[in-house]
Amino acid sequence: MKTMAAIAAVLCLATPLSAQKSGLKPAKFNFTFKDADGKKVRLSAFKGKVIILDFWATWCVPCKEEIPSFIELQKKYGAKGLQVVGLSVDDSQDMAKKYVDQMKMNYPVLLAEGKEDILRAYDPIYSIPVSVIIDRKGRIVTRHLGIATMKVFEEEITPLF
């Protein structure tokens, strides 16, 4: 079985390959992770919000490029019910915590290192970044392979509020 790092390291996509409409498939919320502070967080705690679930790692340059947009989106739309959630696929808690603090990330960053089941649950993820937009009813609306712009995310999330 491949490790989380091997799967994630296959490819770090600098350009968007595609935005796939999902046909409103149910998202999987039955996962619990530690956050960058070491607290346990259930993914189901965010159900009922519009979610941008971002699969990323600190070493992935395109992933880093998206983070300022996610910070801005959380500021701009958090009060309307948006929740950006970062899933760090292979960073240690110490590494993730330092990065979260350095970037002033205003959304939860959960540690998915060693949790290959989350990668399979979201239509297997073989490369990062991948961002999944989930509506308030818990359905996957869109899945981005590679980076996407803030404008693209805004166009996709605003009809969901």
12 is catalytic: no
Cα separation, 161 vs 145, whole angstroms: 23
Residue from 36, 52, 60, 63 carrying the catalytic annotation: 63
CA–centroid distance for 22 within its chain: 16
Cα separation, 113 vs 93, whole angstroms: 9
Q: Which residues are tagged catalytic? A: 63
